[in-house]
Amino acid sequence: MKKPTHKIYRTTNWPAYNRALMSRGNIAIWFDPATQWYAPSKGKQGRNQTYSDAAIQCCLMIKSLFRLSLRMVTGCVQSLIKLCGLNWIAPDYTTICRRQQHIDIVISYQKSCDGLYLIVDSTGLKFLGEGEWKRKKHQPEYRRQWRK
């Protein structure tokens, strides 16, 4: 028996195809300026919380989404705030660590066909070239390629 042949699709509208490929790499993360980033005063004795539960929850969602450590989350959130042009300060990693024990995070799942959102930090993006996995497996020294 012969295998069924795959149907070949021909691209006829190259400009639209190129725009579609470029839009796959779009990264969109933003903060709503109306979000209450700092916690309101409760009027009780003792020190008030500096950051609201929404701010801590935002940091923890970025942490779980991109599998970052708390210190990396602090830097990532601060850079996103700076990109948005807001004059907020990101919570310190010790504050996030303390508050994550007492906060309930509700992450609602929404099926999206928009694609994957990705953050690349300043250390670069590592990728393996063709056949490089063989060198990694069989030789102790192998060439690494880094993209900045």
Q: Is residue 127 pLDDT above 90, yes or no? A: no
Please state which of the ranges 16-20, 73-77, 136-140 shows the lowest mean pLDDT: 136-140
The whole-model pTM stands at: 0.56
- If we measure between CA atoms, which residue out of 54, 26, 52 comes closest to residue 114? 26
Query: In the predicted model, is pLDDT for residue 146 greater than 80?
Result: no
User: How is residue 51 annotated by DSSP?
Assistant: B
Residue 146 in domain: no
List b or e across 44-77, with b for residues whose CB sees 16 or more CB atoms inside 10 angstroms: eeeeeeebbeebbbbbbebbeeeebebebbbebb
For residue 122, being part of any structural domain is answered with no
Instruction: State the pLDDT at residue 1.
Output: 67
Locate tokens 């670069």: which residue?
A: 124
- Pairwise CA distance, residues 29 & 35, whole Å: 14
Portion of the chain with pLDDT greater than 70, in percent: 68
Residue 78 maps to a domain: yes
Q: Is pLDDT above 50 for 142?
A: no
Q: Is residue 38 part of a domain?
A: yes
35-65 pLDDT, tens digit per residue, is 888 988 888 888 888 998 888 988 888 888 8
What is the span of the domain harbouring residue 42? 31-109
Domains in the chain, number:
1
